[in-house]
A and B are shown apart, each in its own frame.
Chain A
Amino acid sequence: DTEVTQTPKHLVMGMTNKKSLKCEQHMGHRAMYWYKQKAKKPPELMFVYSYEKLSINESVPSRFSPECPNSSLLNLHLHALQPEDSALYLCASSHGELGFTDTQYFGPGTRLTVL
């Protein structure tokens, strides 16, 4: 089973709203990722959690706030977003052991629209 689930599938929010994206995996993976994907572009890495600690923040604005409550869950808290933040937000997970091949498995994504 290589399933990563994400909720919600679609989200529309205003610039003053606070919302959260959720991601879950039950593969025992210890690395989890958030990506942002704009139309006709490859995904861009935002954050990496390794063993529930933030390992990489790719200079993402503070209006995006990640959280890893446990090894199976990953959240992305959204506040005061801009219309240009509208995109497909993808979650991925991998076993997280560096020094070896480490395949990332992606969820279906959340389509976010900021009005």
Chain B
Amino acid sequence: DAKTTQPTSMDCAEGRAANLPCNHSTISGNEYVYWYRQIHSQGPQYIIHGLKNNETNEMASLIITEDRKSSTLILPHATLRDTAVYYCIVKSDSNYQLIWGAGTKLIIKP
């Protein structure tokens, strides 16, 4: 069974913030939320991850709800180059497996 659910696709205007939601209602206490993106036919690119607290880096912000059952990835000023499939992933710290969602195809429009 999928551990994460994401919308199939989303649009966002260039220059606006892109907010990508993810539900992970069965997440366990030692499981992290990871986000990767994949631009057409390239390898997945790591974006950000978190456990409980909100996180920010040079690419994005990750907001995790207090009950940890959902999260939102925020790209603050989307550009055309941010068009990609964004994967929300759950990963335990006790094994090597990434549990992938089906991904959200984000299209940034001029």
A-side residues, CB < 8 A to B, are: 2, 4, 6, 31, 33, 42-43, 45, 48, 50, 55-56, 88, 90, 92, 94, 96, 98-109, 111
Question: By the criterion CB–CB under 8 Å, are B96 and A106 in contact?
Answer: no
- Residue in B34, B43, B101 whose beta carbon sits within 8 Å of that of A108 in the complex: B43
Per the CB 8 Å criterion, the residue count for chain B at the interface is 23
Given known A-B contacts A101-B32, A111-B41, A42 and B102 have beta carbons under 8 A apart? yes
Question: By the criterion CB–CB under 8 Å, are A50 and B96 in contact?
Answer: yes
Question: By the criterion CB–CB under 8 Å, are B96 and A99 in contact?
Answer: no
Nearest CB on B from A97, distance (A): 9
Question: By the criterion CB–CB under 8 Å, are B41 and A104 in contact?
Answer: no
Kindly report which residue of chain B lies nearest to residue A33, judged by CB atoms. Answer: B96
- Residue in A2, A31, A43, A48 whose beta carbon sits within 8 Å of that of B100 in the complex: A43
- Residue in A6, A102, A106 whose beta carbon sits within 8 Å of that of B44 in the complex: A106
